[in-house]
DNA sequence: GCAAGGTC
């Protein structure tokens, strides 16, 4: 201890008890340290002697537990009916110490009175700076003569803490101001909108949530609403998805060395005819030539060091733990000293962290101890300094194990799992990446390109310890350029585009993280709030769907044209907060402009409250209504769902007011029939369709908007959604459906071929777009009188026609009106029962325009041979009885597409020209 | 009874 002068007493205050203990232990080096109780049982006081720049000090180190103060309206504005919610934008607010923090306040006051200095050891972020000023407020009231200093530190490491106390700085008012502004804006917006929408809607509708209606709070918050927005947006995306059938050619080759599966370079085509033409070319000349063999070394890298969000996402993915539960368990492991502080944004270890020492501790573990030993053995070459994830909160290191445990007796399964994850993650991120050798073989069949990839794992490295990740190896036979072979299978397979899945908790955390919604310590709270408020539910796969209540609220604000449910508001606020923390704007400036804007927005929203009411009315019964009206609210029964066979299909209006018939089993069952966008009224009648099965299918009385349908259609129409109704189908093609995304110009999203394979079981019919059957057994083809293709065309072109190659009847030239082929000309046979169909451009130039993935380079001869063969379009599919269409997407043996015989291809089929 | 942010 360096001497000099009289000793002063220094009050040191940290943000939490653990930091107070660390700071005291590091500064005192464990020498002469005394611990005594404060008034709060959690916040001890550590005492020892120290010297700051030659000044002899008696150090007292204690802590708060986060914020000491809260912000709220003055009492007279706290009762909900005490004022107009709009007044909350100007109502006086006050900061006060809540009841449960009074004992900490008292400790600070008492200790401050006998101190000369106050040193603030709060976390070095904006919130920490704000808490520092709360502490300053309390302490300076008790002792006006305090000298106030701030310690700046980025890690609880001995050298860092000593440096910090020898180089004390001033507290940063700008940082604290930014938080003050944030708090006030959050409070005023949150309270005003929450009171407004709760009082407006709670009594107007029968909201069938688990809470007692009287106690139900329909809260609004600048974090919880955008979080809900993400969930609803994904839900709408799924709801509006219209499946689209596509086609792909798969090729495999088996030899003594094994099997190689070749993927088509075009991926997939949405145009069946094009696909079948190309397929036929390949089948006619099936010999494959190896054009290129490429070998590359590939690495799979271990994860970055573990931050809170990554811990939550990974625990959700690997163990199906909710983020809220994960944080609870992590907090307990931290309290017991097994892992480091669990609320951290940092995913980069400081150069001063002794990573080897952390790994050394794990050497004795029965399961991963041997890996830790190998890692620490320099001759293994396994060690690698961890990568830098690029985030640093300047307060805490990445989450890592701090104490060895072989498992404690009082741990639950989740404690074991989480500790194991933290340890394995740490060991993984100081390990070498996995190394693989990848071989890509490209082949050419009749001008079409295919490629197969094989991978051999050369070294698993970090994957040996990180059992949560895997990297598949697949051996393919050896090929050399120029080599020729006949494929073992060559199949034309169908698939259907699929909507994205519901948001998982990990997905949602990702969205929030990217949009800056919440902090690492609060994101899980916002997700839990959605569940607590009955805005969303979570299924057993950790996937989130909005409830009717959640969807209605978002829909209501969206209909007003406000993006209050989008993350933009929070981003704007965050931008302003940054300006305050940098001194570019003052707190008062930001408060004034932001609150002025928000108040205008609030008043406007209130004047548009009808939109909220209408959105709620889509889902909920009006409180005054009788039970008899209930079916109008949930939807009127139309038929039993033909897909899931469990739930009813009901007539409903979607969020844009458009009509649809959807399965009540949604989202488990996604069967939906979108009705033409031109429908203005629709009522289910007692009439039962006598051609659609399984029945009964109740018919619907439609009224169409005159200006939105062609003149030759009637405004009133008694229709059936079972597939028998030509008028309805034509109007759907002409007017489009009322699906949300199509209304907004979005389109279906094609999925990758792997997704297609796993999902193709639930393919949609390409004729009528309904789920539950394929085009080969589509009721609209079976019961209809005309080729399904011509049903989808709406225009006949100037009397041009050709003779049908199949039956000789006349095939008029028409113009397609489908989304993929709008405006494209085709000939189709008029004769009943004949399916002949051919694109005009394929007759003229032997190919030309093709599906979504670009054109083919086939010759005129080949495409004419399609016509000459007399089996166009769907006819070929029917003739082959679905043989080359793999309904399951599973690999099927190559077979002749004409007769279905697996022993030969079509080019040698005896029935080919019959 | 309302927000979001600390933390026990």
Q: CA-to-CA distance for A529 and A478, rounded, in angstroms? A: 56
Which of A544-553, A864-873, A876-885 has maximum average pLDDT?
A544-553
A319: pLDDT strictly greater than 90: yes
Instruction: Please enumerate in sequence order all residues whose Cβ is within 8 A of that of A795, keeping only pairs 6 or more positions apart, or say none.
Output: A814, A815, A817
Nearest nucleotide by C1' from A122 CA?
B6
Nearest nucleotide by C1' from A223 CA?
B4
* Per-residue flag: A769 CB under 7 A of strand B: no
Confidence of residue A624 (pLDDT cuts 50, 70, 90): low
Radius of gyration of chain A (CA): 35
The answer to whether position A574 is within a domain reads yes
A740: pLDDT strictly greater than 50: no
Residues of chain A (273-332) having a beta carbon less than 7 angstroms from strand B: 331
Contact assessment for residue A425 and residue A303, using Cβ atoms and an 8 Å cutoff: yes
Residues A543 and A508 in one domain: yes
pLDDT digits (tens, 9 = 90+) for A325-338: 999 999 889 878 89
Contact assessment for residue A437 and residue A298, using Cβ atoms and an 8 Å cutoff: yes
Supply φ then ψ for residue A874, to 5 degrees: -65, -25
Which stretches within A143-223 are classed as H helix? 158-166, 173-201
Name the helix (H) or strand (E) containing A257: none
Helix, strand, or coil (residue A880): coil
Q: What is the pLDDT of residue A862?
A: 23
Provide the greatest CA pair distance for chain A: 116
Average pLDDT over residues A743-759: 29
CATH no. for residue A132? 3.40.50.140
Q: What is the pLDDT of residue A731?
A: 75
Name the β-bridge partners of A248: A493
Distance A235 CA to B6 C1' (A): 33
Helix, strand, or coil (residue A727): helix
Lowest mean pLDDT among A497-506, A635-644, A673-682, A824-833: A824-833
Nearest nucleotide by C1' from A68 CA?
B6
Confidence of residue A639 (pLDDT cuts 50, 70, 90): confident
Distance A18 CA to B2 C1' (A): 32
Confidence of residue A625 (pLDDT cuts 50, 70, 90): very low
Distance A128 CA to B7 C1' (A): 12
A399/A712: higher pLDDT? A399
Residues A730 and A684 in one domain: yes
Nearest nucleotide by C1' from A335 CA?
B8
Q: What is the pLDDT of residue A568?
A: 86
pLDDT digits (tens, 9 = 90+) for A669-727: 567 777 887 887 787 777 888 888 878 888 888 888 777 787 788 888 898 898 888 88
Query: Distances in Å between the alpha carbon of A15 and those of A12, A18, A101, A485, A820?
Result: 10, 9, 13, 71, 61
Contact assessment for residue A109 and residue A142, using Cβ atoms and an 8 Å cutoff: yes
Which of A212-226, A287-301, A566-580 has maximum average pLDDT?
A287-301
A43: pLDDT strictly greater than 90: yes
Q: CA-to-CA distance for A638 and A695, rounded, in angstroms? A: 10
Residues A449 and A410 in one domain: no
CA atoms within 13 A on the CB side of A255: 13
Query: Distances in Å between the alpha carbon of A187 and those of A184, A197, A358, A566, A889?
Result: 5, 15, 43, 18, 54
Distance A506 CA to B7 C1' (A): 24
A398: pLDDT strictly greater than 60: yes
Strands A55-63 and A8-14: parallel
Mean of pLDDT over chain A: 80
Distance A550 CA to B6 C1' (A): 28
Residues of chain A (422-481) having a beta carbon less than 7 angstroms from strand B: none
Quick one: which residue's CA is nearest to B4's C1'? Answer: A186
CATH no. for residue A255? 2.70.20.10
Distance A96 CA to B5 C1' (A): 15
CATH no. for residue A610? 1.10.460.10
Helix, strand, or coil (residue A379): helix
Would you give the distance in Å from CA A479 to the centre of its chain? 41
Contact assessment for residue A406 and residue A424, using Cβ atoms and an 8 Å cutoff: no
Residues A16 and A154 in one domain: yes
Phi-psi region of A742 (alpha: psi -120 to 50; beta: other; left: phi over 0): alpha
The answer to whether position A627 is within a domain reads no
Q: CA-to-CA distance for A861 and A267, rounded, in angstroms? A: 25
Residues of chain A (211-240) having a beta carbon less than 7 angstroms from strand B: 217, 219-225
Name the helix (H) or strand (E) containing A639: strand A636-640
Nucleotides of B under 7 A from a protein CB: 1-8
Residues A692 and A647 in one domain: yes
Q: What is the pLDDT of residue A616?
A: 94
Confidence of residue A160 (pLDDT cuts 50, 70, 90): confident
Q: Which of A621, A644, A668 is the endpoint of a domain?
A: A621
Instruction: Please enumerate in sequence order all residues whose Cβ is within 8 A of that of A242, keeping only pairs 6 or more positions apart, or say none.
Output: A674, A737, A739, A742, A748, A769
Average pLDDT over residues A533-559: 94
Contact assessment for residue A706 and residue A728, using Cβ atoms and an 8 Å cutoff: no
* Per-residue flag: A194 CB under 7 A of strand B: yes
DSSP A580-623: HHTTSS-HHHHHHHHHHHHHHHHHHHHHTHHHHHHHHHHHSEET
Nearest nucleotide by C1' from A334 CA?
B8
Average pLDDT over residues A548-553: 95
pLDDT digits (tens, 9 = 90+) for A434-491: 999 999 999 999 999 999 999 999 999 999 999 999 999 899 999 999 999 999 999 9
The answer to whether position A199 is within a domain reads yes
Q: CA-to-CA distance for A118 and A11, rounded, in angstroms? A: 5
The answer to whether position A752 is within a domain reads no
Annotated catalytic residue, options A272, A279, A341, A897: A341
The answer to whether position A753 is within a domain reads no
Nearest nucleotide by C1' from A195 CA?
B2
The pair of three-digit structure tokens given for residue A538, joined into one six-digit string:
């979570």
Q: CA-to-CA distance for A655 and A559, rounded, in angstroms? A: 9
My answer on whether omega of the bond before A667 falls inside 30° of 0, hence cis, is yes
* DSSP label of A42: S
Q: What is the pLDDT of residue A802?
A: 62
Q: What is the pLDDT of residue A74?
A: 96
A660: pLDDT strictly greater than 50: yes
In degrees, rounded to 5, the angle at the alpha carbon of residue A662 between the alpha carbons of residues A659 and A663 is: 165
Name the helix (H) or strand (E) containing A705: none
Q: What is the pLDDT of residue A741?
A: 38
Lowest mean pLDDT among A88-97, A170-179, A333-342, A358-367: A333-342
Distance A767 CA to B5 C1' (A): 55
Phi-psi region of A27 (alpha: psi -120 to 50; beta: other; left: phi over 0): alpha
Distance A121 CA to B6 C1' (A): 14
Query: Distances in Å between the alpha carbon of A326 and those of A18, A225, A322, A323?
Result: 20, 23, 6, 5
Residues of chain A (343-402) having a beta carbon less than 7 angstroms from strand B: 343
Q: CA-to-CA distance for A262 and A251, rounded, in angstroms? A: 5
Helix, strand, or coil (residue A683): strand
A517, A549, A514: which is closest to A530 by C-alpha? A549
Residues of chain A (51-110) having a beta carbon less than 7 angstroms from strand B: 65-67, 70-73, 78-81, 100-101
Residues A443 and A385 in one domain: no
A517: pLDDT strictly greater than 80: yes
* Per-residue flag: A180 CB under 7 A of strand B: no
Entry field: residues in chain A: 914
Nearest nucleotide by C1' from A182 CA?
B4
Quick one: which residue's CA is nearest to B2's C1'? Answer: A191
Residues A312 and A371 in one domain: yes
A371: pLDDT strictly greater than 70: yes
The tokens 């005492």 sit on which residue?
A: A47
Q: Which of A621, A648, A677 is the endpoint of a domain?
A: A621
Residue A225 burial by Cβ neighbours in a 10 Å radius (0-12, 13-18, 19+): buried
Distance A84 CA to B2 C1' (A): 13
pLDDT digits (tens, 9 = 90+) for A50-86: 999 999 999 999 999 999 999 999 999 999 999 999 9
Helix, strand, or coil (residue A160): helix
Average pLDDT over residues A233-244: 94
Name the β-bridge partners of A719: A700
Instruction: Please enumerate in sequence order all residues whose Cβ is within 8 A of that of A898, keeping only pairs 6 or more positions apart, or say none.
Output: A871, A876, A879, A880, A906, A909, A911, A912
First-to-last alpha carbon distance for chain A, in angstroms, is 106
Residues A28 and A102 in one domain: yes
Helix, strand, or coil (residue A870): coil
Nearest nucleotide by C1' from A81 CA?
B1
Quick one: which residue's CA is nearest to B5's C1'? Answer: A127
Residues of chain A (328-347) having a beta carbon less than 7 angstroms from strand B: 331, 335, 343
Supply φ then ψ for residue A545, to 5 degrees: -120, 150
Helix, strand, or coil (residue A18): helix
Residues of chain A (9-48) having a beta carbon less than 7 angstroms from strand B: 15-18, 42
Domain that holds residue A899: 767-908
A705/A281: higher pLDDT? A281
Residue A472 burial by Cβ neighbours in a 10 Å radius (0-12, 13-18, 19+): exposed
Q: What is the pLDDT of residue A482?
A: 97
Q: CA-to-CA distance for A19 and A156, rounded, in angstroms? A: 8
Helix, strand, or coil (residue A685): strand
Residues A604 and A654 in one domain: no
pLDDT digits (tens, 9 = 90+) for A755-794: 222 222 233 333 333 433 333 333 333 222 222 222 222 2
A178, A99, A94: which is closest to A137 by C-alpha? A94
CA atoms within 13 A on the CB side of A672: 28
Q: What is the pLDDT of residue A588?
A: 96
Average pLDDT over residues A365-372: 97
Lowest mean pLDDT among A244-248, A517-521, A753-757, A808-812: A753-757
Nearest nucleotide by C1' from A332 CA?
B8
Residues A492 and A507 in one domain: no
Residues of chain A (509-538) having a beta carbon less than 7 angstroms from strand B: 518-519, 521-522, 525-526, 529
Distance A225 CA to B3 C1' (A): 11
Phi-psi region of A909 (alpha: psi -120 to 50; beta: other; left: phi over 0): beta
Q: Dihedral, CA atoms, A8, A394, A528, A513, nearest 10 degrees? A: 160
Residues A793 and A856 in one domain: yes
A107: pLDDT strictly greater than 90: yes
Domains of chain A: total: 6
Whether A341 is catalytic: yes
The answer to whether position A443 is within a domain reads yes
Name the β-bridge partners of A123: none
Distance A70 CA to B2 C1' (A): 14
Taking each helix axis from N to C terminus, what angle separates A173-201 and A126-142, rounded to the nearest 10 degrees?
100
Q: What is the pLDDT of residue A732?
A: 74
My answer on whether omega of the bond before A694 falls inside 30° of 0, hence cis, is yes
Name the helix (H) or strand (E) containing A360: helix A355-360
The answer to whether position A756 is within a domain reads no
Q: CA-to-CA distance for A388 and A394, rounded, in angstroms? A: 14
Residues A18 and A148 in one domain: yes
In degrees, rounded to 5, the angle at the alpha carbon of residue A829 between the alpha carbons of residues A825 and A832 is: 145
A645: pLDDT strictly greater than 80: no
Q: Which residues of A499-526 are buried (b: 16+ CB within 10 A; e: fewer)?
A: beebbbbbbbbebbbebebbbbeebbbb
Name the β-bridge partners of A401: A339
Name the helix (H) or strand (E) containing A453: strand A448-459
A768, A802, A795, A773: which is closest to A784 by C-alpha? A768
A617: pLDDT strictly greater than 60: yes
């Amino acid at each position: 201890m360096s001497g000099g002068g009289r000793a002063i007493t220094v009050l040191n205050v940290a943000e939490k008890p653990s930091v107070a203990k660390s700071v005291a232990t590091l500064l005192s080096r464990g020498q002469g340290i005394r611990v005594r109780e404060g008034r709060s049982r959690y916040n001890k006081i550590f005492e020892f002697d120290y010297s700051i720049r030659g000044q002899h000090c008696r150090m007292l180190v204690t802590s708060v537990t986060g914020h000491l103060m809260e912000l709220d309206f003055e009492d007279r504005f706290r009762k909900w009916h005490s004022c107009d919610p709009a007044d909350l934008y100007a109502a006086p607010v006050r900061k006060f110490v809540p009841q449960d923090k009074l004992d900490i306040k008292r400790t600070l006051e008492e200790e401050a009175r006998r101190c000369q200095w106050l040193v603030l050891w709060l976390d070095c972020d904006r919130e920490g700076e704000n808490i520092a000023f709360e502490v300053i407020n309390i302490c300076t009231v008790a002792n006006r003569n305090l000298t106030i200093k701030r310690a700046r530190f980025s890690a609880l490491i001995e050298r860092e803490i000593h440096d910090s106390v020898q180089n004390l700085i001033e507290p940063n008012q700008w940082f604290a101001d930014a938080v003050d502004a944030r708090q006030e804006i959050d409070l005023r917006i949150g309270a005003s909108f929450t009171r407004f929408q709760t009082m407006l809607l709670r009594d107007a509708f029968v909201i069938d949530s688990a809470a007692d209606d009287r106690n139900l709070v329909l809260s609004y918050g600048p974090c919880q609403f955008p979080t809900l927005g993400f969930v609803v947006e994904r839900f709408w995306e799924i709801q509006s998805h219209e499946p689209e059938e596509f086609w792909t050619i798969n090729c495999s080759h088996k030899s003594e060395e094994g099997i190689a599966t070749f993927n088509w370079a075009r991926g997939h085509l949405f145009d069946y005819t094009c696909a079948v033409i190309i397929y036929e070319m390949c089948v006619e000349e099936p010999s494959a030539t190896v054009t290129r063999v490429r070998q590359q070394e590939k690495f799979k890298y271990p994860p970055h060091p573990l931050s809170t969000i990554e811990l939550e996402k990974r625990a959700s993915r690997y163990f199906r733990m909710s983020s809220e539960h994960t944080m609870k368990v992590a907090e307990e492991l931290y309290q017991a000293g097994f892992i480091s502080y669990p609320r951290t944004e940092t995913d980069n270890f400081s150069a001063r962290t002794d990573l080897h020492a952390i790994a050394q501790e794990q050497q004795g573990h029965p399961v991963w101890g041997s890996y830790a030993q190998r890692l620490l053995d320099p001759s293994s070459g396994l060690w690698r300094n961890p990568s830098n994830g690029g985030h640093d909160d300047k307060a805490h290191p990445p989450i890592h194990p701090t104490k060895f445990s072989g498992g404690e007796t009082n741990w639950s399964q989740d404690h074991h799992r989480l500790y194991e994850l933290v340890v394995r993650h740490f060991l993984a991120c100081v390990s070498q990446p996995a190394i693989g050798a990848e071989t890509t073989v490209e082949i050419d069949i009749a001008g079409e390109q295919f490629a197969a990839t094989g991978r051999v794992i050369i070294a698993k490295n970090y994957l040996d310890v990180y059992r949560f990740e895997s990297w598949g190896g697949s051996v393919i036979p050896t090929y050399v350029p120029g080599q020729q072979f006949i494929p073992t299978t060559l199949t034309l397979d169908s698939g259907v585009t699929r909507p994205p899945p519901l948001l998982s908790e990990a997905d949602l955390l990702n969205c929030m993280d990217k949009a800056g919604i919440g902090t690492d310590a609060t994101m899980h709270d916002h997700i839990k709030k959605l569940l607590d408020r009955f805005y969303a539910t979570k299924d057993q796969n950790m996937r989130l769907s909005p409830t009717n209540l959640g969807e209605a609220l978002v829909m209501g604000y969206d209909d007003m044209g406000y993006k209050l449910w989008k993350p933009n508001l929070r981003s704007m606020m965050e931008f302003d907060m940054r300006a305050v923390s940098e001194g570019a704007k003052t707190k008062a400036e930001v408060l004034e402009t932001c609150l002025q804007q928000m108040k205008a927005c609030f008043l406007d929203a209130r004047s548009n409250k009808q939109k909220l009411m209408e959105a709620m009315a889509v889902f909920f019964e009006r409180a005054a209504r009788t039970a008899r009206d209930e079916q109008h609210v949930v939807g009127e029964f139309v038929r039993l769902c033909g897909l899931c066979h469990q739930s009813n299909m009901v007539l409903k209006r979607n969020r844009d007011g458009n009509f649809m018939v959807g399965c009540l089993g949604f989202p488990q069952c996604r069967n939906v029939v979108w009705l033409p966008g031109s429908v203005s009224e629709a009522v289910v009648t007692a009439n039962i369709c006598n051609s659609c099965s399984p029945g009964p299918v109740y018919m619907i009385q439609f009224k169409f908007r005159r200006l939105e349908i062609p003149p030759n259609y009637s405004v009133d129409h008694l229709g059936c959604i079972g597939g028998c109704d030509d008028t309805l189908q034509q109007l759907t093609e002409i007017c489009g459906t009322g699906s949300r995304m199509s209304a907004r110009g979005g389109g279906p999203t094609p999925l990758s071929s792997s997704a297609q394979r796993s999902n193709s079981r639930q393919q949609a019919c390409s004729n009528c777009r309904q789920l539950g059957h394929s085009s080969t057994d589509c009721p609209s083809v079976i019961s209809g009188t005309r080729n399904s293709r011509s049903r989808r065309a709406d225009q006949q072109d100037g009397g041009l026609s050709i003779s049908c190659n199949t039956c000789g009847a006349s095939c008029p030239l028409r113009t397609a009106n489908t989304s993929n082929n709008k405006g494209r000309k085709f000939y189709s046979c008029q004769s009943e029962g004949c399916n002949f169909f051919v694109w005009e451009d394929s007759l003229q130039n032997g190919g030309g325009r093709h599906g979504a993935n670009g054109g083919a380079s086939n010759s005129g001869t080949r495409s004419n041979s399609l016509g000459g063969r007399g089996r166009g379009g769907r006819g070929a599919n029917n003739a082959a009885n679905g043989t080359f269409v793999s309904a399951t997407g599973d690999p099927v043996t190559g077979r002749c597409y004409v007769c279905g015989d697996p022993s030969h291809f079509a080019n040698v089929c005896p029935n080919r020209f019959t």
